[in-house]
Amino acid sequence: MQIPPNMGPEYTAEFRTIFPDLANTNKIALIPFLLDGVAGNPELNQRDGIHPTAEGQLIVASNVWSVLEPLVR
């Protein structure tokens, strides 16, 4: 998981480690960054700059599936 850095570098750095640590401790899968390949790309986000377009959603789905597929096969 990632968050925008507007809360400051220390908070951002600590937040970034929480979910990987939990995943390791609990031996569960982790999707490192749901919006990888989508965030920050205006062509893949709606006008609000936050929510993915239909094309962006396909990339998000691929990000999720790449982690989940090995678990369900």
DSSP conformation letters of the chain: ----GGG-HHHHHHHHHHHHHHHHHHT----S-TTTTTTT-GGGB-TTSSSB-HHHHHHHHHHHHHHHHHHH-
pLDDT digits (tens, 9 = 90+) for 10-68: 998 898 899 999 999 999 999 989 999 999 999 999 999 889 999 999 999 999 999 99
Q: Let me know: does 1 contact 19? Beta carbons within 8 Å.
A: yes
Domain ranges in the chain?
A: 1-28, 31-73
Whole-number pLDDT of residue 6:
85
pTM of the predicted model over 0.95? no
Statement: residue 1 has pLDDT above 80: no
